[in-house]
Amino acid sequence: MKKLLTLLFVIFFVTTKSFADEGMWLINLLDKQLHELMASKGLKLKPGEIYNVDGGALTDAIVAIDGGMCSGSIISSKGLMITNHHCAYGDIHSLSTPDKNYLEDGFWAMKMSDEVPIKGKSVTFLRSVTDVTEMVTKIIDSLDAAGPRGLFFMNRVSGIVEKRYENIPYEKGLSSMWRGSKYYLYFYETYSDVRLVGAPPVSIGAFGGETDNWGWPQHKGDFAMYRVYASPDGKPSEYSAENVPMEAKKFLTVSAKGVKENDFTMVIGYPGRTNRYMSSFELREKFQILNPVISGVRRSKLEVWKKYMDASDKTRLIYADKYFGISNYTDYAKWENLCVDRFDVIEKLEEREVELQKWIMADAKRAEKYGSMLQNLRKAYEIKADITKVREYFRESMVRGAELVGLGQRFQGLVSTLTRAGKEEFTLEDKEIANFKEIALKTISELDVEADRELFKVMVKYYLKEVPVSFYDQAFITLLDKFGGNSDQLADFIYDNSVITSADRLNKFFAEKRSVKDIESDPVIDVVKTIGIRKYNAMEDSLLKVAALDPAKERGDYVRAMYEMQIEKGENIYPDANSTMRLTFGEVGGIKAKDAVYYHYLTTSTGILEKQNPNDYEFKIKPDLKAALERGDWGRWGTNGVLYVNFLSDNDITGGNSGSAVINGNGELIGLAFDGNRESMAGDVYYVEGYCKSVCVDIRYVLWVVDKYAGAGHLINEMNIVF
């Protein structure tokens, strides 16, 4: 009971002036049992102060960044927003040049006119949400009666629902919970003029890099700041020089009081996805096939990049964002498997399925509806195991491998485009050709061709070893035979001769009139012809069709049956995360990670000095930071002569929660969630009591970096800080 209540994802209702989980909770239950439990842990707020349909509650200060890739919070009346450094990493990287490397040196706008607009950046506020399950069910029944469902069936359903609420002046989004057992309509307001305000150097924001990733203790200053701008009349607007800082409906008060063990914490944000209703069969596939392939192939990719990054600062800047984006899940896949094994998660799901099958067979109607579901799922995953492994190796090695192979696919696409247009010859006067050339030159400029050549060699070896010849295109087989099966020689031939592997060759190629045959004769085309997912999907479809199995349907039935069983048994349940707003609450505390190993819940600046290493990029810090830490001038942000950096809480978070506000019982900001611990890596599938922790940057360290290190006191003055 403690786990399900204390570490509960909570969704908000607009039908009341309170909030509740959409499963077991009655409309006003939070006002009673759930709120009482939260209050007993230290919550001082009333339900209406957390969510309120009339506005002015904490949730009005919480935003989804870029559609839910990360979460953030508003911390001043002038639209100042804080999130994680790793959420801003791509933006900082895009602004960086060898001469002005904001990634390495940090960026601080010392006045509003210095704040930098980020093209394509958006933040979204949840304005309200309502239960539309009954309406959606009737619409689905009506459409089903009219004919078979098409590919975009739920888009049609969503369009009808949104039409009925067209008088409400917000964006709408229909979300299902428990595979269609419940439906909710969300009302959002999105601002698309978002400007970078401040970010520490990567040696603060990502201190410890991959070595510390998913680990504890950590010492990251994982934060960055943006500002949300609106039109002069306060409305959401695209970027304009005339825009003004958004007048926040609600912003969080910042607490510099610090945290202590067992303090109440809650996290409000936009978790992306969990799979707490995953079957043992699906998890076994992930454990035995998907995670090993992903962690193995991607690690090889990262090793190639790292070799070139360590050898050149220029190359490091080129690949920094790409490396960062891939490394996170590469490590996650490894640690997830270790935790699945350590905590016997597959066995626990199998036990749950024994209980589920007994419940199903105890009722004739349930038996008719779900009786063969588990058996069918088992058969389906057994049948498709081999093709799943082959397809995953294909995806990781070729589709997600060398970047110039992806560009080669675009090059090949020109053949289809020109053929459809009835053109055998072309010049740069053709718009499609000019566009491709521009994209190709940009792609070449944003990579190290020699690094990509070596990566291609590594990836082709995976492909040749793991993917049967029956899946190769004949053109690729012929090209490979030309070099006696030597894939390194094949790679060198392509990179030495292809139009798209050299800016000079590309420019010369398009400098004169060309034919479709000129494209088809490029050696990279013989490689990309072998890249197509359809043949793998067709093989799987064929195998399942022969066995008369539909795992997608059975997976949906599995979740719905689990939901129905738990409802009938009166269990407290919550839906999987799906990038809609959720709340989780817990407590500050350490962790007994394994036998004889206990980790304290706080880290300090001393740990940065202990870890710093000028010969290791991940632990290299700038001289001015080292001097400031050694000087120990913590100003208002230290406690008893100590500057705290990160802390642990047992809030239940996942991807998308990055940057989420960690809030105390008074509703004040005390930190930002930025990571999980390695012992929690099975958490997206199965929550293990006592081991799932949220790794948070202490807001006191953030304030010290902004104030004492960066000298951006004007940002401190914007905030409402309590001591």
pLDDT tens for each residue of 226-243? 999 999 999 999 999 999
Active-site residue (options: 60, 193, 222, 684): 222
In angstroms, the Cα distances linking 720 to 75, 77, 94, 96, 484 are 8, 9, 31, 32, 70
2-58+204-211+218-276+576-722: which CATH architecture?
A: Beta Barrel (2.40)
Average pLDDT over residues 433-457: 96
H helices of 446-515, in order, are: 449-466, 474-482, 487-497, 503-509
Alpha carbon distance 407, 422 (integer Å)? 23
Q: What is the pLDDT of residue 32?
A: 67
Comparing C-alpha atoms, which of 496, 412, 494, 411 is closest to residue 459?
494
Q: Is 222 a catalytic residue?
A: yes
CA distance 403 to 453: 9
What is the arithmetic mean of pLDDT over 397-407? 95
What is the pLDDT at residue 52?
A: 85
Name which of 705, 680, 667, 577 is nearest 49 in CA terms.
667
The 3-state DSSP class for residue 272 equals coil
Pull the structure tokens for residue 557: 């039935």
Q: Give the contacts of 394 (CB within 8 A, at least 6 positions apart).
A: 463, 466, 467, 471, 533, 536
Start-to-end CA distance of the chain, whole Å, equals 35
Residue 126, helix vs strand vs coil: strand
DSSP reduced 3-state for 9? coil
Contact indicator for 39, 28 with CB cutoff of 8 Å: no
* Amino acid 531: pLDDT: 87
Nearest to 621 by CA among 201, 198, 103, 107: 201
**What residues have CB less than 8 Å from 407, skipping those under 6 apart?**
439, 440, 443, 444, 500
Is position 492 annotated as part of the catalytic site?
no
Stronger pLDDT, 492 or 2, i.e. the higher one: 492
Confidence of residue 172 (pLDDT cuts 50, 70, 90): very high
Q: How far is CA 558 from the centre of its chain?
A: 25
Mean pLDDT of 89-110: 96
Query: Which residue shows structure tokens 């912003």?
Result: 251
| Arithmetic mean of pLDDT, 383-411 | 96
DSSP 337-385: HHHHHHTTHHHHHHHHHHHHHHHHHTSHHHHHHHTTHHHHHHHHHHHHH
Confidence label for 212 from pLDDT (cuts 50, 70 and 90): very high
The pLDDT value recorded for residue 532 is 85
Decide: 352 and 313 in contact? Cβ < 8 Å: no
Is the pLDDT at 408 greater than 50, yes or no?
A: yes
203, 658, 660, 694: which one is catalytic? 658
Nearest Cα neighbor of 297 from 285, 309, 307, 289 is: 289
Q: Which residues contact 589 (CB under 8 A, 6 or more apart)?
A: 261, 262, 601, 648, 649, 650
- Tokens at 141, concatenated: 């029944």
% of the chain beyond a pLDDT of 90: 90
What pLDDT score does 12 carry? Answer: 38
**What is the C-alpha to C-alpha distance for residues 544 and 383, in angstroms, rounded to an integer?**
7
Question: Three-state SS for 488?
Answer: helix
* pLDDT (0 to 100) of residue 21: 32
Domain ranges of the chain: 2-58+204-211+218-276+576-722, 59-203, 280-538
pLDDT of residue 31: 52
pTM: 0.92
Q: How far apart are CA 176 and CA 185, in angstroms?
A: 9
User: Over the stretch 254-290, which tens digit does the pLDDT of each residue have?
Assistant: 999 999 999 999 999 999 999 999 999 999 999 999 9
Range of weakest confidence among 8-17, 121-130, 517-526: 8-17
Q: Would the pLDDT of 486 be above 80?
A: yes
> Among residues of the chain, what percentage have pLDDT more than 70?
96
